[in-house]
Each structure stands twice: as C-alpha cells, then as structure tokens.
C-alpha cells in the first residue's frame, strides 16, 4: 500500500526556515521531519511512498538521490572517481518523487498521483505533522466501514493555561495547557479509496474543501479518534517543542 505525502506547500508561517528549504526538510534531531514521518509509517510496515513535490522540490529530490551521502561515512577517490560507502544505513523504502506544480492546491497534487495510485487503497498525510497513531489500526477501521475516506481526528492541547474562576472572581484552580475547547480537528492522517479522486476537479482544488466536503455531503467519510500524541509543525515554537522532545528522548512518535 502506498503512502502519499503532501510536501509542496510554501510553509509561510515557518518562513524563518522555509526561505531556504521546503517545510518537510526542516530538521528535528538532525533529520528532516519528512524522514520522521516516513520512518513512522515504515515501522508499521508501509514502505512505499509517493512524495508530492512543489515549492523547492529539488531539495527533497537531492536528499533522496544522495541518501547514502547524508546517512553514511564515505571515502571518495577523486583520481579514480570512486565512492566507497562504509555503512549501509539505507531504509527499505521505495520512494517516488512526483513534481505536482508550484502553485497546485492539495487536491490537485493528489489527483496528479492518479497513475501511481492505480486502483489501490492508499494512505495520505501532510509533510509537517507527527503522531503516534497506529496506522494498521487506522487501516483496520477503514476496512470496517463502507466510506471511501477515513480521517484521523485529534484534540490539540490549548496554547495557554486555563483558570477556574468562581462567581466571586476567586481563582479556584489552574490547569497548564489543557486540551483546547474540546473540539476534534482533522489530524491529517487518512486512508482513502481511489474513487475519492472523483471528488477532485483540477489543480485548483483544495483537498479539504473539495474531497472532504463532498464526502461529507455523500456520507462517505468516517473518522477515527486519536486520544494520544499529535503535533503539527507550523511555527518555530512548534519546531522547538518537537526538537525538545527528541533531544530528551521523549518523542512519542519514535517507535523504532
């Protein structure tokens, strides 16, 4: 089963990093967040990836074309034009790098992968979010219903602490960064049947507006709630939080 990863956006809210590289190449612990996402899927047995490129896509191509150089010690014999790799730190991955256009919207990028999806169910996610979702359980849930899309649902933590205040304005308690307002949001990890491509018109289609909303109207989408770790990387604050978890060896998504 293939995993499609949306990796073509501009990442403007993380412009301090994305002026030089696409957001999926922003590093956590010395490796791109894209690598962390793929490693997580791989640990669940999903090893075929289609990465949907756009903004600065060449940086992602360069990373995988020269994967050995990035991961291993090498000896270069300049006179004989030979390269010796001293460790084999490669992954058991098959990676398709698909240019989907600089300004193509998320739905259009997915539709451009039609020839690589064929008639198979596929996984789908964004190139900027991490979680400890069990992807095999997500797939099992998808197979248990008759909808064409399964969406993960998460409750992100609130950004600020909350006060418990009595009618007399007495502070009764304080809770540090509780869950938000109780609402569930799109967690960004999907299982999709290929028929969902019919919900996407063209390059200008936004997946969330076109495919998801049309699926909702047709009662064709189900969600699996995830109560544990989830975090997207939208800002430098988010990046620092993820890096701190990794450096403290407390990264919940690290199951390898």
Residues 188-197: tens digit of each pLDDT = 999 999 999 9
Confidence (pLDDT) at 105: 97
Structural domain includes residue 168: no
User: Please, are residues 121 and 142 in contact by the beta-carbon 8 Å criterion?
Assistant: yes
Any idea what DSSP says for residue 97? E
Structural domain includes residue 177: no
Structural domain includes residue 160: no
Taking the C-alpha atoms of residue 65 and residue 57, their distance in angstroms, rounded to an integer, is 12
Structural domain includes residue 64: yes
Structural domain includes residue 72: yes
Structural domain includes residue 256: no
Residue 174 banded pLDDT, cuts 50, 70, 90:
low
Domain count, the chain: 1
Structural domain includes residue 162: no
Structural domain includes residue 91: yes
| pTM assigned to the model | 0.90
pLDDT tens digits for range 69-106:
888 888 999 999 998 888 777 799 999 999 999 999 99
Query: Would you list the DSSP string of 9-45?
Result: ---GGGHHHHTTS-GGG-EETTEEHHHHHHHHHHHTT
User: Please, are residues 60 and 25 in contact by the beta-carbon 8 Å criterion?
Assistant: yes
Domain that holds residue 21: 2-154+184-247
Whether 170 has a pLDDT exceeding 80, the answer reads: no
CATH of the domain at 215: 3.90.550.10
235 token code pair: 């800002």
């Amino acid at each position: 089963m293939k995993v499609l990863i949306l990796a073509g956006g501009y990442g403007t809210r993380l412009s301090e990093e994305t002026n030089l590289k696409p957001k999926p190449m922003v590093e956590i612990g010395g490796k791109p967040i894209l690598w962390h996402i793929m490693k997580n899927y791989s640990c669940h047995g999903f090893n075929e990836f289609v990465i949907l490129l756009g903004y600065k896509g060449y940086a992602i191509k360069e990373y995988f074309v020269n994967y050995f150089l990035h991961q291993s010690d090498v000896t270069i014999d300049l006179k004989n034009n030979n390269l010796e790799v001293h460790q084999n730190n490669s992954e058991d991955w098959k990676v398709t790098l698909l240019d989907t256009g600089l300004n193509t919207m998320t739905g259009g990028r997915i539709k451009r992968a039609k020839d690589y999806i064929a008639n198979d169910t596929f996984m789908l996610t964004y190139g900027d979010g991490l979680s400890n979702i069990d992807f095999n359980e997500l797939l099992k849930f998808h197979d248990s219903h008759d909808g064409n899309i399964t969406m993960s649902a998460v409750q992100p933590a609130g950004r600020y602490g909350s006060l418990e205040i009595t009618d007399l304005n007495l502070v009764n308690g304080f809770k540090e960064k509780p869950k938000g307002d109780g609402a569930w949001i799109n967690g960004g990890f999907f299982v999709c049947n290929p028929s969902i491509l019919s919900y996407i018109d063209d390059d200008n289609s936004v997946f969330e507006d076109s495919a998801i909303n049309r699926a909702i109207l047709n009662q064709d989408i189900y969600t699996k709630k995830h109560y544990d770790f989830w975090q997207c990387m939208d800002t430098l604050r988010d990046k620092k939080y993820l890096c701190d978890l990794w450096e403290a060896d407390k990264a919940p998504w690290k199951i390898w």
